[in-house]
Structures are given as structure tokens and as C-alpha cells.
Amino acid sequence: MPVERVGLIATYNMTDFLEGVTEERVSTPWGEAHYSLGELDSQPVVLLQRYGRGMEMIQHLINFRANIWGFRELGVQRVIATDGVGSLRRDLEPGTFVVVDDFLDFTSKGRLSFFEEHGCSVRIDVSTPFCPTLRAAFIKGTRQVTSAVREEGVLVGSDGPRFETRAEGRMFRQLGADIVGTLLIPEIVLAREAEICLALLCIVINYGPGLEATIDRRGPGSMEEKYYEGPHRQLPAILRETFAHIPPERECICTRAVPQTAFGHLPTWYRKES
């Protein structure tokens, strides 16, 4: 039986996975966010394409706060995110799926909180950054489709839009990171502040700096070709299986993340029922 609307965050276009797609724009205190609403095998889905429908956005200019808060305005309580990433380990080959369980934050972009200008201090707990219930559903769902999956992995977040240097790649490996990407850090922190469950499935689409001579975005053998020729085709089946393993009720840590870490009065826009 389908659960309530599930949010889906995607890097590449996924509207072709959905039926009955309509477009919706949501106004938030941080600007406007754009979503595609549809269904995947009768499961209501609210799709957010990080870079826009035409891949026109640049990483460091994405309005992460509007994107995450818009889910809450639409009544979405669970979000499953996907992203293409670079591998920092030779044995973590392109085409592998990674259900991330932790992260290292090497971003400097800021905008990591909804409460920066609102007279309320919220120091959110991200010692368990991803929703355990959604992670379990992702692991089960992915395992039923492919054996090329890692059930744990540490992602290091950088700003982009440039790729990392070889020296940065060596440092990240020494610190224990397995994969590198540019989009996770604001999303997971903001989702926890919004008390939205979030889990991340990363698709390795290239070797990171120092493991490959060059990183090609387009053309034969490029990261884009590796994604569309393999993992992209498996995602509809993975999502179907994942949806089937999401329990109807939320009983996880995400539902009570803010009250126990907030000092001062929560602003009215936060207290309002979504």
C-alpha cells in the first residue's frame, strides 16, 4: 500500500519515471522552489531536480533552504535523495550504489540553517545524520535489484562547481572518506531541522582526483554516459522496492529533532502546521 507523498531529490532528469506529472511552484521564506508531482506505480512522488529541469543551476547557487522547506509545505515527511559522486577508493568502482551513513563537511557555502536570522538557536544533532528507517528501506530495495551496492559509506562534501585537486583527494582518503560530492551537506542538515526523514543513495559515476587521469563530464566514457548506460536504468526498480519497505508510520529520531535542541522561541513560520 502506498505511503503518503514521498519526496525524491535527483541530480539527473527523472520525470520520465513518473506518471501523471504536474508542475508546482511553492513560495517559502527563502524564495520559490519548483517540483514535479506524479506517481510511480501508484506511489505519490514529489520530485525535486537540484539543477533545474534543464540542468541550468550551478551547485553553489542552488537554493537549498527553499528546496527543503518546500517539501514541508507540500506535506512531505520523507525524502529519498540520489546523487552521482566520485569514488575515492580504487575498489569502489563506477556503477556501484552507496547507501551513505555518514559525512565529512568541507563546504564553506554557509546557509546551513533555517534559523540564522530568527532569534532562535537550534543546534541540531547529526551524530546519526540519515534516517535509520529510510536507510534500511534503501538497503533492502537496492539489494533486491543489484548486488553492486555498499550498505555504508562516508561522503565528503565540497563546494563545487570545480572538481577537487589530487591533494584534496589524498587528504579526504586519509580522513576516511569513500566518496566525494557537492550537494549533500546543506540538504541533510536542513532536512533534520525541518524534521523531515532523509536518506541518500549515491551512484559512483567516476573515480575521484588522483585515481583517474582526467574527469570527463560529456562524451564517450564520460561520467554522464556511465550513469545513463547503467545506474539510471536501474533506479525505477530500486525506487519501487524501496517504497515497498517504508513503514506507514514514522517512529524515528527525525520526528523530534528540533524541540530538544532549540533555545528561544521558534518562529511562527516554523511552528505552523505543514
Are 136 and 101 in contact, with CB atoms under 8 Å apart?
A: no
Give all domains of the chain, ordered by start, each with its CATH number: 6-271 (3.40.50.1580)
SS3 14: coil
CB within 8 Å of 210: residues ≥ 6 apart: 166, 169, 170
- CA neighbor of 178 nearest in space, from 98, 84, 113, 109: 98
Predicted TM-score of the model (pTM) = 0.89
Which residues are CB-neighbours of 174 under 8 A, at least 6 positions away? Answer: none
Q: What is the pLDDT of residue 265?
A: 80
Amino acid at 235: L
**How high is the pLDDT of residue 89?**
95
List, for the chain, all residue ranges whose pLDDT scores fall below the cut of 50: 1, 274
- Name the phi and psi angles at 60, rounded to 5: -75, -5
Per-residue model confidence as pLDDT tens digits over 129-158: 999 999 999 999 999 999 999 999 999 998
Looking at residue 1, what is its pLDDT? Answer: 46
The secondary structure of 65-132 as a DSSP string is HHHHHHHHHTT--EEEEEEEEEESSTTS-TT-EEE--EEEE--------S-TTTTEEE----SS-S-H
Residue 274 pLDDT: 43
Q: What is the pLDDT of residue 228?
A: 63
Report the run of H or E that residue 235 belongs to, with start and end. Answer: helix 231-244
Q: How far is CA 70 from CA 59, 60, 84, 164, 173, in A?
A: 18, 19, 23, 31, 35
Asked if 177 contacts 154 with a C-beta cutoff of 8 angstroms, the reply is: yes
